[in-house]
Chains A and B, each alone.
Chain A
């Protein structure tokens, strides 16, 4: 059991929990989109401190978790080539492809490096003109401005030995796909605050209107998450469906316009496959025509590589809220953070890893009764 005194301000937390309890009259399912929010919820036991009727569903908002196996296989193929320096964010290194992961390629002599900023990869390309430097450009809208700037810089400086393996995904089409699914159980969404700090909130109004679903832009601290839940419950109980911004200290309606402009220049919308979920129309970005020369898929001729998902891993159901991590038969036995079968166990923002880390090992009875 978790305790209120673990919150930065236990009094505010107690007040928010009490308000949510007072307002709640029936069962509601609320999906938090972002893995950072999932982490805060599980770490602080927010789901356990809420009234029984409120169920939190952990959404697909971890870019590491939704990068498809086929894309990992492309990365492995490129990283194995002798003239390549393959650069990636750290949490991609242990994501399993069909045969091994990037860490293994490094162990076999491949030059695989962790970078903090995509600009570090551009710098590496400048320093190693005799090598091909490839950057694994994954991420949601929050990461896209950084990755776009790296491509733009390489273009501007004429750095020809730099390229990007792009696997960008977008939040609004994922929400649309979840709502359109016949199995949908989500009554309201907590949108990811940092995605909105780049993109603004305007993209979500059409979703609210079309599906009559409350969407509350929410931050990451436990109290922010609680405030988001309080506002979502208030709307649901009041029979309202509105776009609400519970994170105005960081998020504005219009977002970061300079970043959006760079994204528009470097990327264009495309269909994307999501690990465990499948293809979602217009749910990603790829390089726009002007920057297509930086596309690693064509430079290394790996476009045709494809791979089926592992049949053991149930992460697709987890990412759609149809199953909880501790209800997966492999959870904590065959599948642990040291021996991950799926990406949701690799990334610290993945739901399986969060459950494992905070020792939610047994399926709680009340969850078992309500889910599935």
Chain B
């Protein structure tokens, strides 16, 4: 859980007064809180830790890190229990 995973912001919205967004991690899309990166915009790459964007990062190094996590096989573990990002999805936020 101490890893932070880079991904690309594909949508920005406000939920319960908090800036939220959808981030694409190598094809897996998750809902992410953008409250600590209010300047983040669609198309930016960001480093995400436990569902929160903590800093911006350039595309090249985001790609490199994602490739490493995929190779290490830790990507799914880091995103474990994450809510799918489809708007309006009724899927539970947690595993049963």
Chain A residues in contact with chain B, CB under 8 A?
A: 8, 34-36, 39-40, 43, 61-64, 87, 89-91, 113-120, 123-124, 139-140, 142-143, 145-146, 149, 153, 156-157, 194, 197-198, 220-222, 249-252, 256, 258-259, 262, 347-349
Q: Are B94 and A220 in contact (CB under 8 A)?
A: no
Among B3, B30, B37, B55, point to the contact of A116 (Cβ < 8 A): B30
- Taking CB atoms, residues of chain A closer than 8 Å to B18 are 149, 153
- Known contacts A113-B95, A348-B77; decide if A142 and B36 are in contact (CB<8 Å): no
- Known contacts A221-B65, A258-B36; decide if A146 and B47 are in contact (CB<8 Å): no
- Taking CB atoms, residues of chain A closer than 8 Å to B47 are 194, 197, 250
Q: Are B1 and A139 in contact (CB under 8 A)?
A: yes
> How many A-B residue contacts, CB cutoff 8 Å?
141
CB distance from A168 to the nearest CB of B (A): 13
Chain B residues in contact with chain A, CB under 8 A?
A: 1-4, 16-18, 30-33, 35-38, 47, 49-52, 54-55, 57-58, 61, 64-65, 67-68, 72, 74, 77, 79-83, 93-96
Give the distance in Å from the alpha carbon of A140 to the alpha carbon of B49 in the complex. 11
CB distance from A357 to the nearest CB of B (A): 10
- Taking CB atoms, residues of chain B closer than 8 Å to A119 are 33, 51
Q: Are B50 and A89 in contact (CB under 8 A)?
A: yes
Give the distance in Å from the alpha carbon of A113 to the alpha carbon of B94 in the complex. 7
Q: Is the interface of B mostly helix, strand, loop or mixed?
A: loop
- Taking CB atoms, residues of chain B closer than 8 Å to A124 are 93-94
Among A90, A113, A116, A262, point to the contact of B51 (Cβ < 8 A): A116
Give the distance in Å from the alpha carbon of A36 to the alpha carbon of B78 in the complex. 12
Q: Are B51 and A146 in contact (CB under 8 A)?
A: yes
Among A43, A114, A347, point to the contact of B72 (Cβ < 8 A): A43
When C-beta atoms are compared, the residue in chain A nearest to B58 turns out to be A249
- Taking CB atoms, residues of chain A closer than 8 Å to B81 are 90, 113-116, 120
- Known contacts A90-B81, A116-B82, A123-B93; decide if A153 and B16 are in contact (CB<8 Å): yes
Q: Are A91 and B94 in contact (CB under 8 A)?
A: no
Contacts A115-B93, A115-B94, A120-B83 aside, 8 further interface pairs with beta carbons under 8 A come to: A64-B1, A120-B81, A142-B4, A146-B33, A197-B4, A220-B3, A221-B65, A349-B3
- Taking CB atoms, residues of chain B closer than 8 Å to A118 are 50-51
CB distance from B27 to the nearest CB of A (A): 17
- Taking CB atoms, residues of chain A closer than 8 Å to B33 are 117, 119, 146, 149
- Taking CB atoms, residues of chain A closer than 8 Å to B80 are 90, 114, 116
Q: Show 24 residue pairs from A and B whose CB-CB distance is below 8 angstroms, ordered by the A residue.
A: A8-B68, A39-B74, A114-B95, A116-B79, A116-B93, A117-B82, A118-B50, A119-B33, A120-B83, A120-B93, A123-B93, A124-B93, A143-B1, A146-B52, A153-B18, A194-B4, A194-B47, A198-B54, A220-B65, A220-B68, A221-B64, A250-B47, A251-B55, A262-B35
Q: Are B68 and A221 in contact (CB under 8 A)?
A: yes
- Taking CB atoms, residues of chain B closer than 8 Å to A39 are 72, 74
